[in-house]
A and B are shown apart, each in its own frame.
Chain A
Amino acid sequence: MTSPNTNKSTGSNSDSSAIPLLEIVDLHVNVEDKEILKGVNLTINAGEIHAIMGRNGSGKSTLSYALMGHPRYKVTSGKMLYKGQEISEMSPDQRAKLGLALAFQYPVSIPGVSVSNFLRKTVNAVRGRDIPVKEFRLELKALMAKLGVKDEFLSRYVNDGFSGGEKKRLEILQLSMLNPSLAILDETDSGLDIDALKTVSEGVNALSKADTAILLITHYQRMLNYVQPQFVHVFQDGKIVASGGSELALELEDRGYEWVTSEMQPTPGTGPNATKTSSSSSSPSPAVVGAK
Chain B
Amino acid sequence: MSADLAPALNNKGLPESAKPELNKSAGLEGIGNDYKYGFSDKEDYIFKSGRGLTREIVEKISAMKNEPEWMLKFRLRALDIFNKKPMPTWGNCGLLNDIDFENIFYYIKPSQKQETDWDEVPEGIKNTFDRLGIPEAERKFLAGVTAQYESEVVYHSIREDLEKQGVLFLDMDSGLRLHEDIVREHFATVIPAADNKFSALNSAVWSGGSFIWVPPGVKIEIPLQAYFRINAENMGQFERTLIIAEPGSFVHYIEGCTAPTYSTDSLHSAVVELIAKPGAHIRYTTIQNWSKNVYNLVTKRAVAHEDAKVEWVDGNLGSKLTMKYPAIYLLGERAHGEVLSIAFAGEDQHQDAGAKIIHAAKNTTSMIISKSICKNGGRTSYRGLIKVYPKATGVKSSVKCDALLLDDKSRSDTYPTMEIDEKDVNIEHEATVSKVGEEQLFYLMSRGLNQDEATAMIVNGFFEPFTKELPLEYAVELNRLIQLEMEGSVG
Binding site for B on A (CB under 8 A): 68-72, 91-93, 95-97, 101-102, 104, 107-108, 110-113, 118, 121-123, 125-126, 157, 174, 178
Contact = CB atoms under 8 A, between A and B. Distances in A.
Given A92-B445, A110-B443, A110-B458, A72 B438 contact: yes
Interface string B405-445: 00000000000000000000000000000000111101111
B463 interface: yes
B361 to A, nearest CB: 35
Contacts of A68: 442, 446
Contact of A96 (B440, B447, B465): B447
Contacts of B457: 110, 113, 118, 121
Given A92-B442, A125-B453, A112 B464 contact: yes
Given A108-B439, A118-B457, A93 B445 contact: yes
A111 B460 CA distance: 9
Contacts of B460: 112-113
26 contacts: A68-B446, A69-B442, A69-B446, A70-B442, A71-B438, A91-B445, A92-B442, A92-B446, A93-B447, A93-B448, A101-B446, A102-B446, A104-B446, A108-B437, A110-B443, A110-B444, A110-B458, A111-B462, A113-B457, A113-B461, A122-B444, A125-B447, A125-B453, A174-B447, A178-B447, A178-B448
A137 B464 CA distance: 23
Contacts of B465: 112
Contacts of B157: none
Contacts of A97: 448
Interface in B146-195: none
Contacts of B447: 93, 96, 101, 118, 122, 125-126, 174, 178
A68 B446 CA distance: 7
Contact of B450 (A91, A107, A174): A91
Given A110-B461, A113-B457, A118-B457, A125 B446 contact: no
Contacts of B64: none
Given A71-B438, A91-B450, A125-B453, A112 B463 contact: yes
Contacts of A121: 449, 453, 457
A265 B145 CA distance: 80
A97 B450 CA distance: 10
B451 interface: yes
Nearest to A100: B446
Nearest to A109: B440
Interface string B451-477: 101100110111111000000000000
Nearest to A160: B461
Nearest to B445: A92
Identify whether the interface residues of B are mostly helix, strand, loop, or mixed. helix
A126 to B, nearest CB: 4
Nearest to A73: B442
The 10 closest A-B pairs by CB, nearest first: A112-B461, A112-B464, A125-B448, A126-B448, A122-B447, A92-B445, A113-B461, A96-B448, A92-B446, A93-B445
A71 B461 CA distance: 23
Contacts of A118: 447, 457
Nearest to B457: A113
Contact of B464 (A92, A113, A126, A174): A113
Contact of B440 (A69, A108, A123): A108
A110 B440 contact: yes
A102 B460 CA distance: 24
Contacts of B450: 91, 93, 125
Contacts of B463: 112
B451 A91 contact: yes
Given A92-B442, A104-B443, A121-B453, A112 B462 contact: yes
Contacts of B438: 71-72
A112 B443 CA distance: 15
Given A96-B446, A122-B444, 4 more contacts: A96-B447, A107-B443, A118-B447, A118-B457
A206 B458 CA distance: 31
Contacts of B444: 110, 122
B438 to A, nearest CB: 7
Nearest to B463: A112
B448 A122 contact: yes
Nearest to B467: A112
Q: Which of B443, B448, B458 has the most CB of A within 10 A?
A: B448
Nearest to A124: B448
A110 B441 CA distance: 10
Contacts of B446: 68-69, 92-93, 95-96, 101-102, 104
Nearest to A174: B447
Nearest to B447: A122
Contacts of A72: 438
B360 to A, nearest CB: 35
A125 B444 CA distance: 11
A95 B451 CA distance: 13
Q: Which of A68, A69, A113 has the most CB of B within 10 A?
A: A113
A123 B447 CA distance: 8
Nearest to A177: B447
A171 B272 CA distance: 49
A118 B461 CA distance: 10
B275 to A, nearest CB: 34
A176 B450 CA distance: 21
A128 to B, nearest CB: 9
Contacts of B448: 93, 96-97, 122-123, 125-126, 178
B453 A157 contact: no
A62 B460 CA distance: 30
Contacts of B445: 69, 91-93, 96
Nearest to B442: A70
Contacts of A71: 438, 442
Nearest to A128: B448
Interface in B214-247: none
A125 B453 CA distance: 10
Nearest to A92: B445
A271 B363 CA distance: 78
